[in-house]
Amino acid sequence: MKLIRQVVIYILLLVKYIRGLDYVGYYKAFHIWRLKHLTEYQFVVILSLVVGVASGLASVLLKNTVHLTYEIISRFSWFSPDRGNILFLMYPTIGIILTVLVIKYFVKDDLSHGVSKVMYAISRKDGRLKAHHCWSSMLTSSITVAFGGSVGLEAPIVLTGSAIASNISRFFRISRKHVITLLGCGAAGAIAGVFKAPIAGVLFVFEVLMIDLTMTVATPLLLSAVTSAIISYFFFGQGVQFYYKVDSLFELNKIPAFVLLGIIAAFISLYFLKINKWVSGRFSKWKRSSRIIIGGVCLGVLVYLFPPLFGEGYSALTSLLNNDIDSMMENSFFYSYTDSNWLFLPVLLAIVFLKAFATSITCASGGVGGTFAPSLFIGGFVGFFVARVVNLTGTIEVAESNFALVGMAAVMAGVMHSPMTATFLIAEITGGYALFTPLLIATTIAYLVVKPLTRYSIYAEPLAEKGDLITHNKDKTALQFIDKKEIIETNFITLKPDSLLRDIVAAVEVSSRNFFPVVDDQGMFRGVVVLDDVRSMLFKPEFYNKIKASTFMRYSPMFIADIKEPMEEIIQKFKGSDRYNIVMVDDGKYLGFISRANVFAAYQRYIKEFSNE
């Protein structure tokens, strides 16, 4: 008892000491020291290492959380998916219900489409992500996947890593340009930590998030990705999501088969994109309770009939790569079909097409997860299917595992519009570049076929439809970085609606401008008096005390912009008009004017700054 009492006393003293620390003083002192001794870019490089460590730890935590959750529920004999029990139909519904309850009562925010949220933060929110994104996506996605939701964990971990970077940036008062860089570091670190593939993590940022490739950006990204991969190696060793050592080399006579695989993968990618959009549209018309029940039941039936659809599917994919078909199809109604090659082919196709439905249903019904893992899953099964068909025809003999790997990359390239990320991801997780040539062939073909038919990737399309995607448009990106408050001109003499002609004459005498904003006593903008409209009255003193400013006042909503409007919308008001100035207001209150010249000058400064990096 004495020892316990002493421990309690020491803990209380420690808590008292911690509470008594002057955190604000330490923070200010550090901030002053940093400004004196480090440039912002040097500090960003240091923070990229911190973000890399945090992203790596988040990846490890998420994977272990999913594994632990599944281990806990699988201890019950009726709660194990390899038992073939009829209650297996309930697991996805339970997971979706728990996920929805956590979001409704704890998170109280939308968590869907993690990568899209990062892109939206870059496009519209100056890189700001809410603090709860540092943990909420991990918690909810782990519940969804552990209970059989047919989605991946990569998108939630990308959102988590980016949110950590965003909040670190806000804490240390990093400028907006470098906040975007650190957001990219969080995303790169997340991908690198999950797959131990730092190059793929960096390429993901450039191809998917569309952050410009400059040396200023590349260095922090590389540091973050490598740091995260090292953290993942420390906890998991050599193993990754799925690991396979390529045992057969590429041969030139296999090129036609890989070309065929690239074409097939492209159309499978289009199918995946269309199904995802269609299911999302259908479910959005229903009430939340209906979405949960219908989605949960449909998903339960799918994973009950086809166990490989359960969760991320990496275990099934690993079995496929190792040609362990019996293990993959164990307890399935179609287990007996594995003895016949021709009967097993339709089962493979069914899994491919139904995986797209399972993923879309999981997300649309309230589950949290991404499409990264499902695209790899579908690609692996497509590649295996093509290889099995080629081998059965007897024309040439191909390695089915190699085709499965290349298929993974090809479908990923088509779905995400990221051929380089897909190529290097598979190359890195297989521990070499033995398949580099076929990977490039298949991913390039898949991308070239898909791109003209779907302009945007699965992550970018929802934002593009709402006009919120600027990362893929460099002109819009440049405009987004312009601070409107810095280019507002305020050196205008204002008038009031009841100002007399005498007041206008006095304003003309001292002003170098040819128009005068009219503002009421509350500061609300009412219109503009243009010099040309009053020129003929300036030399008629008999009207000085008779005519008011409201007589000459012009007002046109098309030449008024609110400070909260995006810059590209303000630019549209200049186009097709002879106006060189736009009135800027804040909820109707007059702020000043923005001119075409100032906008163009700010745009040029941005382009010059980034082109010199």
Q: Are residues 74 and 211 in the same domain?
A: yes
Do residues 346 and 231 share a domain?
Answer: no
What's the longest Cα–Cα distance across the chain? 106
5 in any annotated domain: no
Instruction: Examine residue 376 and state whether it is found in any structural domain, yes or no.
Output: yes
Average pLDDT over residues 96-121: 85
Does residue 323 lie in a domain region?
yes
* Boundary (domain end) residue, out of 236, 261, 292: 236
CATH number at residue 134: 1.10.3080.10
- Structure confidence by residue, pLDDT tens digits, 350-380: 999 999 999 999 998 988 888 888 999 999 9
d(CA 405, CA 261): 11
Give yes or no: residues 290 and 179 share one domain: no
Domain of residue 53, residue span: 25-236
Asked whether the beta carbons of 359 and 379 are under 8 A apart, the reply is: no
- E strand segments, 432-575: 515-519, 525-530, 560-562
Asked if 388 and 429 sit in the same domain, the reply is yes
Do 423 and 382 share a structural domain?
Answer: yes
pLDDT level of residue 410 (50, 70, 90 thresholds) = very high
User: Do 416 and 564 lie in a common domain?
Assistant: no
What's the pLDDT score for residue 500? 83
Residue 3 lies in a domain: no
The answer to whether residues 13 and 191 touch, using CB atoms and an 8 Å cutoff, is: no
Tell me, yes or no, whether 456 and 594 share the same domain: no
Do residue 203 and residue 261 come from a single domain? no
Q: Up-side HSE of residue 609: CA atoms within 13 Å toward CB?
A: 10
Asked which of 417, 436, 470 is the last residue of a domain, the reply is 470
Q: How far is CA 35 from the centre of its chain?
A: 31
How many domains are there within the chain?
Answer: 3
pLDDT attached to residue 611: 47
What confidence score (pLDDT) does residue 260 get?
93
Are residues 300 and 417 located together in one domain of the fold? Answer: yes
Q: 343-357: per-residue pLDDT in tens?
A: 788 888 999 999 999
The reply to whether 186 falls in a domain is: yes
| Residue where a domain terminates, one of 210, 236, 262 | 236
Structure tokens at 415: 């779905």
Q: Is residue 245 part of a domain?
A: no
| Residue range 267-312, pLDDT digits in tens | 999 999 999 999 988 888 888 888 889 988 899 888 888 888 888 8
Q: Where are the alpha helices (DSSP H) in 38-76?
A: 40-74
CA-atom Rg of the chain in angstroms: 30
Q: Is the pTM of this model over 0.85?
A: no
Query: Is the residue at 520 inside a domain?
Result: yes
CATH code, 514? 3.10.580.10
Question: Do residues 252 and 228 lie in contact, with contact meaning Cβ atoms separated by under 8 Å?
Answer: no
Are 158 and 289 part of one and the same domain?
Answer: no
pLDDT, tens digit, 9 for 90 and up, residues 424-450: 998 888 776 778 889 999 999 999 999
Instruction: Say if residue 434 is in the same domain as residue 487.
Output: no
In a domain, 20, yes or no: no
In this structure, the answer to whether residues 463 and 602 fall within a common structural domain is no
